[in-house]
Chains A and B, each alone.
Chain A
Amino acid sequence: MAALPEEPAEVVVKPDPEGGVPPQPPPAPPPAAPPTTAPAEGEPAGAPGGAGEAAPPKPAPPGPATSPAPTDRQTLLAVLQFLRRNNLHESEDILRREARLLGEEVAAAALSPSAPGAQGTPGGETDATGGEALLSRVAAASGAAGGAVAAGASATLGGPAVVAVPPGKVGGGVPVEDQPDVSAVLSAYKQQGDPALYEEYYSGLKHFIECALDCHRAELSQLFYPLFVHMYLELVYNQHENEAKSFFERFHGDQECYYHDDLRVLSSLTKKEHMKGNETMLDFRTSKFVLRISRDSYQLLKRHLQEKQNNQIWNIVQEHLYIDIFDGMPRSKQQIDAMVGSLAGEAKREANKAKVFFGLLKEPEIEVPLDDEDEEGENEEGKPKKKKPKRESMGSKSKKQDPNAPPQTRIPLPELKDSDKLDKIMNMKEATKRVRLGPECLPSICFYTFLNAYQGLTAVDVTDDSSMIVGGFADSTVRVWSVTPKRLRSVKSAADLGLIDKESDDVLERIMDEKTASELKILYGHCGSVYGTSFSPDRNYLLSCSEDGTVRLWSLQTFTCLVGYKGHNYPVWDTQFSPYGYYFVSGGHDRVARLWATDHYQPLRIFAGHLADVTCTRFHPNSNYIATGSADRTVRLWDVLNGNCVRIFTGHKGPIHSLAFSPNGRFLATGATDGRVLLWDIGHGLMVGELKGHTDTVYALRFSRDGEILASGSMDNTVRLWDAVKVFEDLETDDFTTATGHINLPENSQDLLLGTYMTKSTPVIHLHFTRRNLLLASGAYSPQ
Chain B
Amino acid sequence: MSEREERRFVELPRESVRLMAESAGLELTDEVAALLAEDVCYRLREAAQNSSQFMKHTKRRKLTVEDFNRALRWSNVEVVCGYGSQDPLPFRAIKEGELYFQEDREINLVELALATNLPKGCAETAVRVHVSYLDGKGNLEPQGAVPSAVSTLSDDLLKYYQHVTRAVLGDDPQLMKVALQDLQTNSKIAALLPYFVYVVSGVKSVSHDLEQLNRLLHIAKSLIQNPYLCLGSYVKSLIASVMYCVLEPLAASINPLNDHWTLRDYAAMLLSHIFWTHGDLVSGLYHQILLSLQKVLADPVRPLCSHYGAVVGLHALGWKAVERVLYPHLSTYWANLQAVLDDYSVSNAQVKADGHKVYGAILVAVERLLKMKAQSVSAQGDRPWRDGCRRESSPWLSPLQDPQVEFSFGIASHLLQLGSGGPQLGTGISADPPAVSLHETYRELYDFFGDSLATRFGTGLGLHSAELTPPGPKVLDTKKEQPAFGTGDVVRKMPQLTANATVSPREEESPRADYPPGRPVLHRSASVPRSRSASRQQGHRPGVRDVFQKCRFSPQGPPHFSFVIAGRQVGRRCQGRLFQTCFPQHHGPSHISRYAQKLPMIGRTSKPVKKWAHSEYSLYLPL
Contacts and interface: CB of A to CB of B under 8 A. Distances in A.
Contacts of B611: none
Interface string B23-67: 000000000000000110110011001000110111111101010
A443 B136 CA distance: 6
A673 B58 contact: no
Contacts of B122: 452, 454
A759 interface: yes
Contact of A446 (B49, B124, B131): B131
Contact of B58 (A264, A474, A784): A474
Interface string B539-561: 00000000000000000000000
Given A274-B42, A655-B56, A755 B4 contact: no
A570 B133 CA distance: 40
A448 interface: yes
Contacts of B535: none
A675 B184 CA distance: 47
B128 interface: yes
Interface string A743-784: 000000000001101111001010000000000011001111
Contact of A445 (B41, B62, B133, B151): B133
A784 B132 CA distance: 20
Given A249-B4, A268-B46, A451 B133 contact: no
Residue among B42, B86, B126, B136 facing the most chain A CB atoms (10 A cut-off): B136
B113 interface: no
A452 B123 CA distance: 6
A264 B64 CA distance: 21
A451 B46 contact: no
Contact of B59 (A253, A613, A765): A765
Contacts of B58: 455-456, 458, 474, 529, 531
B123 A481 contact: no
B129 interface: yes
A445 B132 contact: yes
Interface string B175-206: 00000000000000000000000000000000
B135 A444 contact: yes
A351 to B, nearest CB: 26
A483 interface: yes
A479 interface: yes
Interface in B1-32: 1, 3-4, 7, 9
A455 B62 contact: yes
A615 interface: yes
B255 interface: no
Given A449-B130, A454-B122, A479-B125, A271 B38 contact: yes
Contacts of A755: 133, 136
Contacts of A571: 54, 57, 74
Nearest to A248: B4
Residue among A441, A474, A613, A699 facing the most chain B CB atoms (10 A cut-off): A474
Contacts of A570: 74
Given A447-B129, A451-B126, A757-B132, A457 B42 contact: no
B126 A783 contact: no
Given A449-B128, A452-B122, A268 B45 contact: yes
Interface string B564-595: 00000000000000000000000000000000
A196 B53 CA distance: 37
Residue among B4, B57, B70, B134 facing the most chain A CB atoms (10 A cut-off): B57
B488 interface: no
Nearest to B75: A277
Interface string A568-611: 00110100000000000000010000000000000000000000
Nearest to A483: B129
Contact of B126 (A271, A447, A452): A452
A458 B66 CA distance: 14
A148 interface: no
Interface string B119-157: 000111111111111111101010100010111000000
A441 B132 contact: no
Contacts of A248: 4
Nearest to A654: B56
Contacts of A458: 57-59
B469 interface: no
Residue among B122, B123, B127 facing the most chain A CB atoms (10 A cut-off): B127
A55 interface: no
B74 A759 contact: no
Interface in A257-281: 264-265, 267-271, 273-274, 277-278
A631 interface: yes
Interface residues of B, number: 51
A442 B42 contact: no
A547 interface: yes
A471 B127 contact: yes
Contacts of B398: none
A657 interface: yes
Nearest to B122: A452
A529 B351 CA distance: 65
A457 B60 CA distance: 9
Contacts of A445: 131-133, 136
A445 B133 CA distance: 5
A778 B128 CA distance: 10
A449 B1 CA distance: 48
Given A268-B46, A458-B59, A754-B136, A448 B4 contact: no
Contacts of B401: none
Given A268-B9, A455-B62, A441 B135 contact: yes
A449 B141 CA distance: 13
A252 B135 CA distance: 49
A662 interface: no
B430 interface: no
Interface string B421-450: 000000000000000000000000000000
Contacts of B82: none
B57 A615 contact: yes
Interface string A452-494: 1111111000000000010101100001010100000000000
B129 A442 contact: no
Contacts of B127: 448-451, 469, 471, 481, 483, 778
Given A268-B42, A444-B133, A445-B136, A451 B56 contact: no
Contacts of B49: 264-265
Nearest to B232: A783
Nearest to B60: A455
B233 interface: yes
Contacts of A33: none
Contacts of B150: 451-452
Nearest to A443: B136
A715 interface: yes
A697 interface: yes
A235 B438 CA distance: 62
Given A271-B39, A451-B127, A457 B233 contact: no
Given A451-B151, A481-B127, A444 B134 contact: yes
B200 to A, nearest CB: 19
A274 B49 CA distance: 15
B464 to A, nearest CB: 47
A447 to B, nearest CB: 5
Nearest to A265: B49
Given A453-B125, A455-B58, A529-B58, 18 more contacts: A249-B4, A270-B42, A271-B42, A278-B46, A444-B135, A445-B136, A450-B125, A450-B126, A450-B127, A451-B123, A451-B127, A452-B122, A454-B122, A481-B127, A483-B129, A529-B70, A697-B56, A715-B61
5 pairs of A and B residues whose beta carbons are closest in the complex: A442-B136, A445-B133, A452-B123, A268-B45, A249-B4
Interface of B: 1, 3-4, 7, 9, 38-39, 41-42, 45-46, 49, 53-54, 56-62, 64, 66, 70, 74, 86, 122-137, 139, 141, 143, 147, 149-151, 232-233
12 contacts: A264-B49, A278-B46, A442-B136, A450-B127, A456-B58, A571-B57, A613-B53, A696-B61, A755-B133, A763-B59, A777-B132, A783-B233
